[in-house]
Each structure stands twice: as C-alpha cells, then as structure tokens.
Chains A and B, each alone.
Chain A
Amino acid sequence: GAGVSQSPSNKVTEKGKDVELRCDPISGHTALYWYRQSLGQGLEFLIYFQGNSAPDKSGLPSDRFSAERTGESVSTLTIQRTQQEDSAVYLCASSLGREGEQFFGPGTRLTVL
C-alpha cells in the first residue's frame, strides 16, 4: 500500500475486555513504532521494532500492554483487561530505520467504557 494503515479506525470496548489493534507498515520499512496520544497530551512512545532485533518495550505503561510483529510486516498491539485510562488514539509509524523519517498511520481511536 501507499502508506501505513491501521485497523480498526475506531474501537469501543467495555472495561476489562481485551483489544487488538493492527498496523500494516509501508512495505520495506524495517522499523515500526507504536505511540499513544491521549486527549490534550503529546505522543507517548510505547514500543519499537527494528528488523530482527529484540523490541524496545521501554514505553509500555503496564504489563497489560504487549505487541508483536511478524518479520518486517504486520504488528499487533494488544491491551488486556482494558481500563478507562487506556482510552486514547494509538498511532503506528514505520521507517526505513535509523535516521529515517517516520511515516504515521491514521491511528485507532480506542474508547473504553
């Protein structure tokens, strides 16, 4: 595809349920990032994948958050036992690697009731 795509665009869930958010990076981009944008806040780094290296998980806010990436392709961000404070826009970005421009997807707006 032409750009980074994310699905779903919107997700409404009940507190305590698990959710999966998907990101399809630009083909050939070795680096993939997840960020969270809460209302009135800047973007908060969550996790970073680079090729076959171990992911940098230093931004994950709790052990309820996890992410996987299949090779240099699709990534899934999973939030278990969602809480209301998890409500935010989750943004995915990809790049060619170090010093490469990060291209952002449109985001998934998650609402936890």
Chain B
Amino acid sequence: DAGVTQSPTHLIKTRGQQVTLRCSPKSGHDTVSWYQQALGQGPQFIFQYYEEEERQRGNFPDRFSGHQFPNYSSELNVNALLLGDSALYLCASSKPRTGGDSEQYFGPGTRLTVT
C-alpha cells in the first residue's frame, strides 16, 4: 500500500515563474491538504480539498491555488513566484470524514527553490 506520494522531489524556479506541484493521497483517503514549511519553521496550512472543492484555506494569497481530481489526487499551483516562496511543500491526506479529526499522513514533500 503506497503512502502519500509527491512530485517532483526538488524544483528550482526563477522569480515571476509559475509552478505546479503534485500529490497522490494514501489509498482509501479522499481529503488532501497542502502545507508550506519554511526552513526552521512549523508547516503552515495552505488549503484543503475534499470532493474536488477547496474546503478550507489558510492565510495565503490568491497566487496559491489548487485542484483535486476525481481520483483524489491534487495539484498545488503557485503563480508569480517570489523569493519568499522557497520552502518545503508538504501534502497530507486523511480518511473520509467521520465527524472526528482524523490523523493526517504526510508525503515526503517538494523542495522548491526560487532564485
């Protein structure tokens, strides 16, 4: 049973460019969340997708957008990249909602460097 997978592992982009990161959730999971982790900091919640819709959003600008596909995989898009967007981007998946707050399984992350 594969866990959460993310691609690519590493990425180098230039300021102003756009980037797309991808995530496949753990088998049986339908909810995908994205986090940004700057060096030495805890992860910051970007947004969460469930049933192909954005359900919750953190304090990130509209340059950050996402999508969830019918197979529950997800993409994170960042437009007009800034140097400050350099970080580890983590995807996490969780089980179908039962009314509780289930644990989240994190992928290995995508290390984005903006130069």
A and B assemble together: no
Interface residues of B (CB under 8 A from A): none
